[in-house]
Amino acid sequence: MEKHSLNQSNKRNGGITARIGKKFHAEIVDIQKLRIKNDKTDEKTSMEKITNSIIRSDLWKEIKEGIANLDEREINEFGL
């Protein structure tokens, strides 16, 4: 089996967007743009830094528990 670098695999399989979902990816891109617009940074903040900030946020515990307690119907409904 042929080995591929992470970049090659990502390009072929849809990259980061395919792994995290289009809607979540769009939200992260919005955060990147807002940080520049709000003069919090001069350049785009990396997706890794943003996602790490999300999971360290005080709100993350509530979000995590809320999602963990959704029934299958709600997951399917929200997952569209």
Question: 41 in a domain, yes or no?
Answer: yes
Contact 32, 44 (CB under 8 A): yes
Give the number of domains in the chain: 1
- Give the model's pLDDT for residue 15: 81
Residue 2 pLDDT: 46
Q: Domain limits at 54? A: 6-78
Is 1 contained in some domain? no
Q: What is the pLDDT of residue 65?
A: 96
Instruction: Let me know if residue 43 belongs to a domain.
Output: yes
22 found inside a domain: yes
Give the C-alpha distances (Å, rounded to integers) separating 45 from 48, 53, 57, 64, 67.
8, 11, 16, 24, 26
Residue 34, in any domain of the structure: yes
For the question of whether the overall pTM of this predicted structure is more than 0.75, the answer is no
- Along the 80 residues of the chain, how does pLDDT read in single tens digits? 444 444 444 556 678 777 888 889 999 999 999 999 999 999 999 999 999 999 999 999 999 999 999 999 999 988 76
Q: Does residue 26 fall inside a structural domain?
A: yes
